[in-house]
Structure 1
Amino acid sequence: MLRAKKKLSLIFLCVIFGIVLIDLCQKSISAVTIYVITPTFYRISQKPDLVRLCNTFKLVDNMHWIVVEDSLVRTALVSRFLNECSVPSTHLNAASPKDRKKYHIKGSNQRNAGIEWLRKHRVSRYHKGVVYFADDDNTYDPRLFNEMRTLNMGATWPVGIVGGSSWEGCITAPDDPNRIIGFWTGYKPFRRFPIDMAAFAINLDLLFIYPNASFDYKHVEQQEGALLSQLGFKSAMDLEPRAEGCSKILVWHTKTYNPSIPLSRPNQPKIADFL
């Protein structure tokens, strides 16, 4: 009888220990901050696009949204919007090069501004974070951010509606969902990094291990690889597969239609008055 009681006590203690351990692990994972860097520029659909993102990001725990305007100054429109959005955020601005015909790359200055802000404002070297670059008109399933929260150095997943295809991204081994064996892509499939900007996230530590890593205006349509190669990755095969072994699409490279607006009536208030 005494032995039975001791066994029951031991089992009870093991169960309690297991519950505490699981709780600690969950708290450790949730303590990782997701830093989302979003370049944005003015057009009539800018605010609705940002509202859509805000509604998604509200569903994600421990996120910090860095919104960087392609502008010489921070605009009142975006400032008011971020004040109304309950997601913790930082508002920056960085203008793109004036010669748009010479530079066929968008968002590099804005993403670099976000990266530099992170380098200057890290809470401590023990603070854990993940960095993700999110366009302001893409569509994101909130589950994507939990997928990236547990990455080691860098992770990748498929993206829908990209590169003239219904999807592009990583492919894992049939018998091992944790091993990438290739990438499905239409544009230059033999690139070392055949992935979209929405298809990867990195450990915040890498921005400090490689303090000069940044985007540029030289590698047209290869900005992803330009950055990742500076962060110590030899190819996209080094990234960790996520989204159930690259079997789920949790982000779509959508584009908001830019409507053709007819001339307004003389006395009609401008849409900016409502923003």
Structure 2
Amino acid sequence: MMVVTAAKTARREKRVVMHTTLHTLAKVSFVLLILSSLARRRRLVVITPTYERARVRRKYTLSHMFVSMCDSSDADIWWYLIDENISDPIPSFANQCPHVHVTRVPAPPPRSNTTSHRGLDHRNAGLELALRDHEGMNAAVYFADDDNLYSSKIWPMAAQASHGVLFWPIGFMTHPEGAEAPVHTKGEIHGFQTIFCPKPPRRFGIDMAGFAVPLDATVNVTFRHEWSWGRLETKFLEELERRGARMGAVTSDDVLVWHINWSTADVVNFTMHVPKPKINCKR
């Protein structure tokens, strides 16, 4: 009887050991799967200057941005909110999506003589933080303003800019021309269809939300207050080009980001239909 009982006990202990081993292997496999998934994701740094707009509108766009980031699981997103009002009760978004990391920091104090370039110091502050936090990392950076609406497809596309500057169209919901877009053949840019054609023309006629750049290419490159109004984007890109950044690839002809500019009473009234742009400013 004692021999039978001992045998049963041994079999039970063996089953417990096997169950524990399988459970441990399952947990290890799950962790390795998560790490593998994170390793496959491209790292994207998103810099968003925020302003003292109406709280409901501001909360709407930031919440919309976060939801679209959460819906995009193909990029490891590090979002820097350079906030003019850090105490504003906008959701912190912390720990709600494992691939979206949110950092809110106070904006630099405003300068009385720089009103034409509001947000410039915000972007420079975001770049400084990003270069410090992601030194040596293979990352892209995207300047995503808080007066745009974003498709979830925009984030993994922008993350591909870790090795060279990438461009795409941007829609203008409140403008009759509809959109700005690079003119290209097989990804090689010949010019830009744009609603803003100053004299002399811009070399890169694109909105801030229409491109992403390699983060490491921005070392010692900043936005400057002496640059003329409407030329921040082209001056910044020209500076990167002078320093050897690879330029000119177009990743998509789809409009995945829309500039809304708060021109109407309520964001729910905006239409998502964006006609093709009509004006071509050649480089």
The TM-score, its normalising length taken from structure 2, stands at 0.69
The Cα offsets for residues 117-147 of structure 1, whole Å up to 9 and x where unpaired, read as 012112x52x211100001121111112222
Question: Residue 231 of structure 1 aligns with which residue?
Answer: 240
Report the count of equivalent residues.
Answer: 221
Q: Does 1:201 pair with 2:207?
A: no
Which of 43, 62, 74 is the equivalent residue of 1:50? 62
Question: Residue 223 of structure 2 aligns with which residue?
Answer: 215
The CA distance in 2 between the partners of 1:236 and 1:171, in whole Å, is: 20
Structure 1 pair 141/233, CA: closer, same or farther in 2 (3 Å)?
A: farther
Which of 158, 162, 187 is the equivalent residue of 2:169? 158
C-alpha contact (below 8 Å) 2:217/2:245 kept by paired residues: no
C-alpha contact (below 8 Å) 1:180/1:237 kept by paired residues: no
Structure 1 pair 84/128, CA: closer, same or farther in 2 (3 Å)?
A: closer
C-alpha contact (below 8 Å) 1:194/1:236 kept by paired residues: no
- After TM superposition, the runs of 4+ consecutive aligned structure 1 residues lying more than 6 A away are 26-29, 234-237
- Give the counterpart letter for 2:79 in structure 1: W
Give the RMSD, CA atoms, in angstroms. 3.0
Question: Residue 192 of structure 1 aligns with which residue?
Answer: 203
The CA distance in 1 between the partners of 2:40 and 2:262, in whole Å, is: 32
The CA distance in 1 between the partners of 2:202 and 2:77, in whole Å, is: 32
Structure 2: runs of 5 or more not aligned: 1-35, 267-283
C-alpha contact (below 8 Å) 1:68/1:94 kept by paired residues: yes
The percent of aligned pairs where both chains have the same amino acid is 26
Q: Does 1:253 pair with 2:259?
A: yes
Question: Residue 35 of structure 1 aligns with which residue?
Answer: 45
The CA distance in 2 between the partners of 1:149 and 1:52, in whole Å, is: 19
- Give the counterpart letter for 2:82 in structure 1: V
The CA distance in 2 between the partners of 1:106 and 1:96, in whole Å, is: 11
Structure 1 pair 51/134, CA: closer, same or farther in 2 (3 Å)?
A: same
The CA distance in 2 between the partners of 1:240 and 1:27, in whole Å, is: 27
C-alpha contact (below 8 Å) 2:72/2:155 kept by paired residues: yes
Other structure's SS at 2:89 match: helix
Residue 181 of structure 1 deviates from its aligned partner by: 1.9
Other structure's SS at 2:224 match: coil
C-alpha contact (below 8 Å) 1:181/1:237 kept by paired residues: no
The CA distance in 2 between the partners of 1:50 and 1:146, in whole Å, is: 18
The CA distance in 2 between the partners of 1:88 and 1:77, in whole Å, is: 18
Structure 1 pair 200/81, CA: closer, same or farther in 2 (3 Å)?
A: same
C-alpha contact (below 8 Å) 2:94/2:101 kept by paired residues: no
- Give the counterpart letter for 1:69 in structure 2: D
Question: Residue 97 of structure 1 aligns with which residue?
Answer: 110
Residue 232 of structure 1 deviates from its aligned partner by: 2.6
The Cα offsets for residues 210-252 of structure 1, whole Å up to 9 and x where unpaired, read as x321112222111112222222359999321111xxx211111
Other structure's SS at 2:181 match: strand
Question: Residue 147 of structure 2 aligns with which residue?
Answer: 137
Per mean C-alpha deviation after superposition, the further-off stretch among 218-227 and 197-206 is 218-227
Question: Residue 20 of structure 1 aligns with which residue?
Answer: none
Question: Residue 111 of structure 1 aligns with which residue?
Answer: 123
Structure 1: runs of 5 or more not aligned: 1-25, 261-275
Other structure's SS at 2:187 match: strand
- Give the counterpart letter for 1:64 in structure 2: W
- Give the counterpart letter for 2:224 in structure 1: D
The Cα offsets for residues 241-266 of structure 1, whole Å up to 9 and x where unpaired, read as 111xxx21111111335759xxxxxx
C-alpha contact (below 8 Å) 2:187/2:248 kept by paired residues: no
Question: Residue 78 of structure 2 aligns with which residue?
Answer: 64
C-alpha contact (below 8 Å) 1:40/1:135 kept by paired residues: yes
Structure 1 pair 95/259, CA: closer, same or farther in 2 (3 Å)?
A: farther
